[in-house]
Structures are given as C-alpha cells and as structure tokens.
C-alpha cells in the first residue's frame, strides 16, 4: 500500500524561531543603513528564498525600487545586491544562535512521526555557514532532522526551485514525490513543494506568513486569532498548499488523511500558479 515515506520541513518559522524573526530585523536594518526605510511586510514577503535572492526581490518591489532611484538617481544594480548581502550575512550570523529554539510541539511531533517509520528531511533559505550555527544549537535543544540541504548544495538554486527537495529524496531514499510531504511557513515553501510535485502543507501559528511573536500571538483575543489564522491559511492555499495546519501538532492527522487519499489513488493536486 502507498504511504507517505518522508516529511521535509523548513527551518525558521516552521521548526525553530517562532515567527521567523532572525532574518527580518536584519533585512530592515541593512536597508535602513542604505537610506531606505522598508516595512516589516516588505521584509517578510520573499521569506524562505535564498537570502541574496531575498534582497534582490526586495529591491525589485515597486515602492522600494522607486525609493532607491530617488536616493541614488539610478536603478539598483547587481553590485548593490552584493553590497547589501555583504552587510546582511555578518549581521545575521552575530545574532543567529539566539533564534534556534524549537517551536512548541516540534520535538514531540517529529518523534511521533519517526515512530511511524517516517524519514525527516529539511530545506532552508539559509546558507550552509548560517546552518552551521543553527543545526548544532537546535540539536542541543532537541531538534535534529535526518538530513539538511541548503541552496549552496544546489548551485544557489534555492526556493522556489525544487532541487533541495530532490536532494532530500535522494539522500533519504524516498521512492516517489507523491510519497513526500513538504511542511513550511512561507509562500516560497508552498511553491517549492508544488514545483517538486510533493504534498504541500502550510503551518500557520509561528509562521513568517503570520509574522507574530509567541507573546504577540498569545495576547490576541480568540476572534483576532481566528481572523489571522484564516488570513494566513488563505495565503498558503493561494500559493499551492494542499493542506494548512494551525500548529505542527496537527501534522500526524494530516499524514493519516494523505495516506487515505493515496490508498484511493489520489496524488498532490496539479496547480497552476
């Protein structure tokens, strides 16, 4: 019988760093140093991409691009992208270890999935140098997937390209894309899953898409929580998610549901984005 063989998780905002705050503030700071005030929403929109691609995507936003031209009297260049990234990487590295706490429910859920015989892979928008900080810190706190791929290992073709997922499948010996589930917290995670032909699951609470800290989320009223959960779920579905879950604790139930669909001959739905 066809069953799910492996789960491929994103890192920040999905399994560690509730709300995905490590990179956001650094993006805002480096643009500020360049004389451009970007919003939290603009800093978050490309989240999940390789970080130099993220900077390029921010500079290409009409409002940011216009501010850049106003300030510098010209359109941004690839050298500007490189200059901003050269400032971004050391600033992120200096604070990254503080953002490696597993999100509540992750350790227990991953153990439950492993008990069912599932392999646990991962992809990220961080470089290998960044992950050299995150991986050991997260492991000390109880979270360690079976495999980690960064865009460095796929010639800098990060999300939404599917190659990091394929590397996980090869390493973990997963037999078919439709027996794999990708779990993430951004639009680019969903697009990565779609392009790899795997099941796409968006996790809502703690996500970069939601963009709230643990304290800010828990300070909301029930109706405010419902509204932001609904809005975040909609954003994931618009970007190709097959399922959304409120927290990682809901994942085993979704895996059961997918296994039922597989037994009926169903596959991840084909989506045109």
In angstroms, the CA 120 to CA 110 distance is 8
Look up residue 115 and give its two tokens.
């008990």
Q: Is 32 a catalytic residue?
A: no
In angstroms, the CA 68 to CA 223 distance is 39
DSSP state of 199: E
Q: Consult the annotation and say whether 12 binds a ligand.
A: yes
Look up residue 73 and give its two tokens.
């009297």
Residue among 29, 32, 51, 250 flagged as catalytic: 51
DSSP result, 155-183: TT--TTSSHHHHHHHHHHT---GGGEEEE
Q: Which residues contact 233 (CB under 8 A, 6 or more apart)?
A: 202, 204, 244
The three-class DSSP label of residue 48 is coil
Neighbours of 154 (CB within 10 A): 18
Q: Consult the annotation and say whether 250 binds a ligand.
A: no
In angstroms, the CA 57 to CA 48 distance is 12
> Phi and psi (nearest 5°) for 20?
55, 65
Q: Consult the annotation and say whether 112 binds a ligand.
A: no
Q: Is 51 a catalytic residue?
A: yes
Look up residue 57 and give its two tokens.
């995507």
Residue among 10, 53, 189, 250 flagged as catalytic: 10
- 105: exposed, middle or buried (C-beta count within 10 Å: 0-12, 13-18, 19+)? middle
In angstroms, the CA 104 to CA 123 distance is 20
The catalytic residues are 10, 51
Q: Which residues are annotated as a binding site for Mg(2+)?
A: 10, 12, 185
Q: Which residues are annotated as a binding site?
A: 10, 12, 185
């Amino acid at each position: 019988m066809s069953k799910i063989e492996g789960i491929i998780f994103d890192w920040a905002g999905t399994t560690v760093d509730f709300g995905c705050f490590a990179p956001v503030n650094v993006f805002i700071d480096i643009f500020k140093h360049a004389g451009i005030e970007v919003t939290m929403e603009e800093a978050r929109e490309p989240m999940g991409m390789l970080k130099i691609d993220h900077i390029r995507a921010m500079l290409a936003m009409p409002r940011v691009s216009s501010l850049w031209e106003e300030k510098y009297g010209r359109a941004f260049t690839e050298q500007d992208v490189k200059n901003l990234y050269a400032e971004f990487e050391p600033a992120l590295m200096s604070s990254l270890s503080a953002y490696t706490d597993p999100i509540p429910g992750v350790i227990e859920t991953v153990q439950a999935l492993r008990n069912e015989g599932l392999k646990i892979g991962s992809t990220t928008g961080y470089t290998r140098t960044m992950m050299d900080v995150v991986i050991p810190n997260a492991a000390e706190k109880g979270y360690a997937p079976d495999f980690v791929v960064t865009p460095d290992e796929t010639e800098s073709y990060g999300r939404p390209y599917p190659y990091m997922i394929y590397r996980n499948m090869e390493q973990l010996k997963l037999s078919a894309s439709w027996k794999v589930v990708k779990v993430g917290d951004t639009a680019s995670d969903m697009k990565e899953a779609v392009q790899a032909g795997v099941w796409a699951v968006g996790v809502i609470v703690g996500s970069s898409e939601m963009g709230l800290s643990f304290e800010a989320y828990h300070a909301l009223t029930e109706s405010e929580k419902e509204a932001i959960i609904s809005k975040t779920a909609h954003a994931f579905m618009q970007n190709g998610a097959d399922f959304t879950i409120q927290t990682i604790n809901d994942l085993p139930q979704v895996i059961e549901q997918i296994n039922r669909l597989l037994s009926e001959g169903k596959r991840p739905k084909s989506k045109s984005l």
